[in-house]
């Protein structure tokens, strides 16, 4: 295990986890478009938790979404995925810190530490995948409504919160991939498969020897023993 690669993977995973925490409360997940408007008096922007509006004088007004069940399905799913992403990232950081070669936690059993570091890489990959799904799903609905000519509601554009989320998912996936590639001999965490050469049992060899001895024809006549 290369300590520099592990430290670099930990740094990427930490940055990805930190940026998820920044993207989740960011209010600018989608911003009302100014396309086709000559004069814009107010701007509306939303995220997974609230909807805000600001006018030309700079006054901001925000309100939380009143009901969870009344929200669209993709918003509820994006909430769950983003929260799961933070949880996976936390587990990944703890597992990577324990499994690093330069860490004194867990003793000097480097086989066990390599397996724990590989688990940390899996958690970072899960973090990046959950974030990527949530952000991409949310952005897909924005673009679908934007290009729908018959959509009656307010049309939005992609906000800065989504770009932060995309960046965090890429960092987490790169960090998890580095850990898995560095700990390649320890992919199999729960089962230890080792190829053993086939060795026939000694009982079989004894039986085959006895059978061979009985099958050898005798060169003496029966009268020779009388």
| Number of independent structural domains in the chain | 1
Which letter does DSSP use for residue 217 in this model?
A: P
Helix ranges (H only) for 24-109 are 73-99
Residue 130 falls inside a structural domain: yes
Q: Using CA atoms, how far apart are residues 203 and 198, in angstroms rounded to an integer? A: 15
Question: Which segment of 94-98, 135-139, 192-196 scores lowest on mean pLDDT?
Answer: 192-196
Q: What is the end-to-end Cα distance of the chain in Å, rounded?
A: 79
Provide the pLDDT confidence category of residue 226 given band limits of 50, 70 and 90.
very low
Residue 157 falls inside a structural domain: yes
Residue with token string 């295990």: 1
Q: Using CA atoms, how far apart are residues 192 and 149, in angstroms rounded to an integer? A: 58
Per-residue pLDDT of 38-64, as tens digits, reads 456 678 888 899 888 888 777 788 888
Residue 38 falls inside a structural domain: no
Residue 140 falls inside a structural domain: yes
Provide the pLDDT confidence category of residue 187 given band limits of 50, 70 and 90.
low
Q: Which domain holds residue 11?
A: 3-30+72-186
Q: Which of 22-26, 96-100, 182-186 has the highest mean pLDDT?
A: 22-26
For the chain, what's the residue count? 226
CA atoms within 13 A on the CB side of 216: 8
What CATH code is carried by the domain that includes residue 82?
Answer: 1.20.140.150
Residue 194 falls inside a structural domain: no
Residue 217 falls inside a structural domain: no
Q: What is the pLDDT of residue 134?
A: 95
pLDDT at 165 over 90: yes
Residue 37 falls inside a structural domain: no
Provide the pLDDT confidence category of residue 212 given band limits of 50, 70 and 90.
very low
Residue 197 falls inside a structural domain: no
Q: Using CA atoms, how far apart are residues 91 and 218, in angstroms rounded to an integer? A: 76
Tell me if residue 165 falls in helix, strand or coil: helix
């Amino acid at each position: 295990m290369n300590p520099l690669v592990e430290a670099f993977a930990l740094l990427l995973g930490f940055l990805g986890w930190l940026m998820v925490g920044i993207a989740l409360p960011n209010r600018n997940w989608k911003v009302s478009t100014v396309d086709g408007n000559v004069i814009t008096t107010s701007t509306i922007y939303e995220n997974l938790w609230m909807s805000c509006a600001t006018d030309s004088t700079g006054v901001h007004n925000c309100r939380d979404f009143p009901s969870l069940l009344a929200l669209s399905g993709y918003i509820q799913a994006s909430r769950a995925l983003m929260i799961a992403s933070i949880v996976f990232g936390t587990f990944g950081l703890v597992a990577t810190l324990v499994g690093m070669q330069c860490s004194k936690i867990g003793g000097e059993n480097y086989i066990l530490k390599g397996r724990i570091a590989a688990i940390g890489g899996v958690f970072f990959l899960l973090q990046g995948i959950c974030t990527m799904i949530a952000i991409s799903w949310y952005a897909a609905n924005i673009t679908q409504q934007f290009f729908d000519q018959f959509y009656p509601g307010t049309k939005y554009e992609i906000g800065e919160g989504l770009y932060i989320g995309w960046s965090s998912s890429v960092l987490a996936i790169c960090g998890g991939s580095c850990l898995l590639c560095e700990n390649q001999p320890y992919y199999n965490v729960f089962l230890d498969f080792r190829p053993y050469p086939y060795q026939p049992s000694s009982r079989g060899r004894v039986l085959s020897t006895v059978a061979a001895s009985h099958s050898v024809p005798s060169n003496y006549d029966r009268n020779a023993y009388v």
